[in-house]
Chain A
Amino acid sequence: MAKRKKFVNIPVLTHLAEESHEWPYENPLAPGHRMCPGCSIPPIVNMALLEYGKDVVTGSNTGCLEVTTGVFPYTAWTVPWIHVAFENNAAVLSGAEAAYRAFKKKGKIDKEIHFVSISGDGGTYDIGFQALSGAAERNHNMLYICYNNEGYQNTGYQRSSATPIGAFTKTTPVGSKIVGKEEKRKDLTLIMAAHEIPYTAQANPFNYKDFTRKIRKSKDVKGFKFINVLQSCTLSWRTKPEDAFRVLKLATESLYWPLYEVIEGKFWRINVKPSKPKPIEDYIAMQPRWRHVLKMPEILDKIKEEIYTKWDFLLRMEKLSKELAEDLGFTLDEIFEMSWDEYQEKVKPKLKEKTYLS
Chain B
Amino acid sequence: MAVELIKERKAVAMTGNQAIAEAMRQINYDVVAAYPISPQTELMGFFAEYLANGLVDTEFVTVESEHSAMSAVIGAAAAGARAMTATAAQGLLYMYENLPIASNWRLPITMVLVNRALSAPLNIHCDHGDAMTARDSGWIQLFTENSQEAYHSLIAAVKIAEKALLPAIVNMEGYIVSHTIGNVNLLTDAEVREFIGESDWRTNVPHPLLDTDNPVTYGATALPDYYTELKYAQHVATFEAKKYVKEVLEEFNQLAGTDYKIIEPYKLEDADFAIVVMGSSAGVARTAADQLREQGIKAGVLKIRLFRPFPYEEVAEALKHLKAVAVLDRHDSANGLASPLFQDIATTLYHLPERPMLHDFIYGLGGREVTVEDMLRAFNRLINLYTGRETRDRYVEYLQVRE
Chain A interface (Cβ within 8 Å of chain B)? 1, 54-57, 59, 66-67, 70-75, 77-85, 87-103, 105-106, 108-109, 111, 113, 130-131, 133-135, 137-138
Contact = CB atoms under 8 A, between A and B. Distances in A.
Interface stretch (B221-229, B264-272, B391-399): B221-229
Contact of B212 (A71, A75, A80, A95): A80
A95 B72 contact: yes
A106 B74 CA distance: 21
Contacts of A78: 215
A101 B65 CA distance: 21
Contacts of B73: 95
B12 interface: no
B200 interface: yes
A70 B222 CA distance: 9
Contacts of A103: 30, 80-81, 201, 210
A118 to B, nearest CB: 13
Contacts of A57: 79, 209-210, 212
Interface string B190-209: 00000000001100000001
B357 interface: no
B31 interface: yes
14 contacts: A66-B219, A71-B221, A72-B222, A74-B220, A80-B216, A81-B216, A82-B78, A84-B74, A87-B67, A88-B67, A91-B63, A92-B71, A103-B210, A138-B63
Interface stretch (B54-62, B252-260, B286-294, B297-305): B54-62
Interface centre among A70, A79, A87, A92 (most CB of B within 10 A): A92
A195 to B, nearest CB: 12
B211 interface: yes
Chain A, interface SS category? mixed
Nearest to A1: B213
Given A72-B230, A80-B217, A99-B83, 4 more contacts: A71-B222, A75-B217, A94-B63, A133-B64
Interface of B: 1, 30-31, 33, 57-59, 61-65, 67-69, 71-81, 83, 97-98, 101, 200-201, 209-213, 215-223, 226, 230
B226 to A, nearest CB: 5
Contact of B71 (A66, A71, A72, A88): A88
Contacts of B31: 95, 98-99, 102
A71 B220 contact: yes
Contact of A79 (B30, B79, B215): B215
Contacts of B83: 95, 99
Nearest to A93: B75
Contact of A84 (B30, B80, B219, B230): B219
A61 B75 CA distance: 13
Contacts of A134: 63-65, 68
Given A93-B75, A113-B212, A81 B218 contact: yes
Contact of A92 (B1, B30, B74): B74
Contacts of B221: 66-67, 70-72
Contacts of B78: 82, 92, 96
B399 to A, nearest CB: 39
Given A80-B216, A131-B67, A137-B64, A96 B79 contact: yes
A108 B75 contact: no
Contacts of B217: 70, 75, 77, 80-82
B98 A99 contact: no
B201 A94 contact: no
Task: Please provide the 8 A-B residue pairs with the shortest distance between their CB atoms, ordered closest to farther.
Answer: A95-B75, A134-B64, A95-B72, A83-B219, A70-B220, A99-B81, A91-B68, A91-B71
Contact of B72 (A73, A80, A87, A92): A92
Contacts of B57: 102, 105-106
